[in-house]
């Protein structure tokens, strides 16, 4: 039997970290909207919104969302498109679809009470290891690891760990460390304190080590390598793609397209969009699209060009406009006509809002 290489932390260091961190947090915690009470539903919503998203961006979305859906059951009862509309512009839209589905699940099968055990809550859509631990610890004060990017950065420096934080195995190692550090009496505050420290002091670049409550026990600071950590493999640059969007208008309405239920911008509305293959002509492809859908179109011109960068795709967009003389039976069920007001009321992602600015 091979002895497993487990990272253990000296008991005295554990005590110092717990005490210093909680003390610092009590003096420096930000007054954020989701910290006004301990409603598991609100904490859940905030944690989903905060995934890969900055606090300053989330705040207004969170406030509007809770105003619109004050309780878990309010959200469970709401039509999906209304819920997606409340998320418009936040990005990563599968988050809101998963949240809505999970909330309906809790409403229907758990008496509208957010599960308070790791196994049950982890089965809910959109709740992974981090979010499960965050909700359990913050809402229910249960001892659970909530290891996000902040925590991995803090631990990488605190213990001078050179593991690649992009790897899942590293997150598990960090969870093991977290469980050794979390005080029995304050798991929620401790987890939030770790993240708060990562956000305010132990920042990705130019960490404010001089103001850090853990400076005396930080290995990276002692070695002067805090700027070298954490280690993380570089992401691939987004793939460049030539796209054509169509603004096809008839009688004060435009042709819009509901995007597929899976993939990029799933469930959002958009303008008809064509991925332009290498060396293809925008006008020719637009013509093909119109012919295929029985659209008799004239006066096709370039309305504008812009670029939009997603996580893995870099769109170079050409927007064409045209007047629809006659529309026969439209082939695709995803296509429909909308007025300017209807377009305002439906969820369109930002990349399409950019294009729509050219017209409305």
Q: How far is the CB of 206 from DNA (least distance, A)?
A: 7
Rounded to an integer, what distance in angstroms lies between the CA atom of residue 106 and that of residue 100?
Answer: 10
Angle between helices 149-158 and 187-200 in degrees, nearest 10? 80
Q: How far is the CB of 349 from DNA (least distance, A)?
A: 3
Can 196 be counted among the known catalytic residues?
Answer: no
Q: How far is the CB of 287 from DNA (least distance, A)?
A: 27
Q: How far is the CB of 135 from DNA (least distance, A)?
A: 9
| Closest to DNA by CB, 149 or 304 | 149
Q: How far is the CB of 220 from DNA (least distance, A)?
A: 15
| Closest to DNA by CB, 212 or 290 | 212
| Closest to DNA by CB, 43 or 297 | 43
Q: How far is the CB of 11 from DNA (least distance, A)?
A: 28
| Closest to DNA by CB, 3 or 234 | 234
Rounded to an integer, what distance in angstroms lies between the CA atom of residue 226 and that of residue 207?
Answer: 8
| Closest to DNA by CB, 199 or 330 | 199
| Closest to DNA by CB, 47 or 285 | 47
Task: Name beta bridge partners: 317.
Answer: 243, 306
In the complex, the residues that contact DNA under the rule CB under 7 A are: 32, 46-47, 50-57, 89-94, 98, 125-132, 134, 148-150, 153, 167-169, 192, 195-196, 198-199, 204-206, 232-237, 239, 263-266, 308-313, 349-351
Annotated catalytic residue: which of 47, 175, 196, 257?
Answer: 47
Catalytically active residues are: 47
């Amino acid at each position: 039997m091979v002895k497993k290489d487990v990272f253990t932390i000296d008991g005295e260091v554990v005590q110092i970290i717990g005490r210093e961190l909680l003390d610092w947090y009590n003096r420096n915690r930000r007054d954020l909207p989701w910290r006004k009470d301990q409603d598991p539903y609100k904490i859940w919503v905030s944690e989903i919104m905060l995934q890969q998203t900055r606090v300053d961006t989330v705040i207004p979305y969170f406030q509007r969302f809770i105003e619109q859906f004050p309780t878990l059951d309010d959200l469970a009862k709401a039509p999906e498109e209304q819920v997606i509309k409340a998320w418009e512009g936040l990005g990563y839209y599968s988050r809101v679809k998963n949240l809505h589905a999970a909330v309906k699940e809790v409403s229907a099968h758990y008496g509208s009470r957010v599960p308070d055990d790791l196994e049950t809550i982890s089965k809910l859509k959109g709740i992974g290891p981090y979010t499960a631990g965050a909700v359990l610890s913050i809402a229910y004060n249960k001892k659970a690891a909530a290891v996000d990017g902040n925590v991995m950065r803090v631990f990488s420096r605190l213990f001078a760990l050179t593991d690649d934080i992009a790897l899942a195995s590293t997150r598990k190692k960090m969870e093991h460390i977290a469980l050794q550090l979390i005080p029995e009496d304050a798991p929620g505050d401790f987890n939030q304190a770790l993240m708060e420290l990562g956000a305010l002091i132990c920042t990705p670049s130019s960490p404010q080590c001089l103001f850090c409550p853990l400076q005396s026990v930080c290995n990276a600071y002692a070695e002067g390598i805090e700027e070298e950590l954490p280690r993380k493999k570089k992401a691939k640059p987004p793939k460049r793609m030539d796209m054509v969007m169509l603004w096809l208008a008839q009688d004060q309405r435009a042709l819009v397209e509901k995007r597929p239920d899976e993939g990029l911008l799933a469930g959002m509305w958009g303008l008809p969009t064509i991925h332009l293959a290498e060396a293809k002509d925008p006008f020719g492809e637009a013509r093909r699209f119109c012919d295929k859908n029985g659209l008799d179109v004239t006066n096709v011109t370039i309305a504008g060009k812009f670029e939009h960068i997603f996580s893995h795709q870099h769109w170079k967009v050409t927007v064409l406009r045209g007047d629809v003389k006659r529309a026969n039976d439209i082939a695709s069920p995803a296509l429909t006509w909308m007025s300017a007001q209807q377009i305002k009321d439906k969820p369109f992602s930002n990349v399409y809002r950019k294009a729509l600015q050219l017209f409305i």
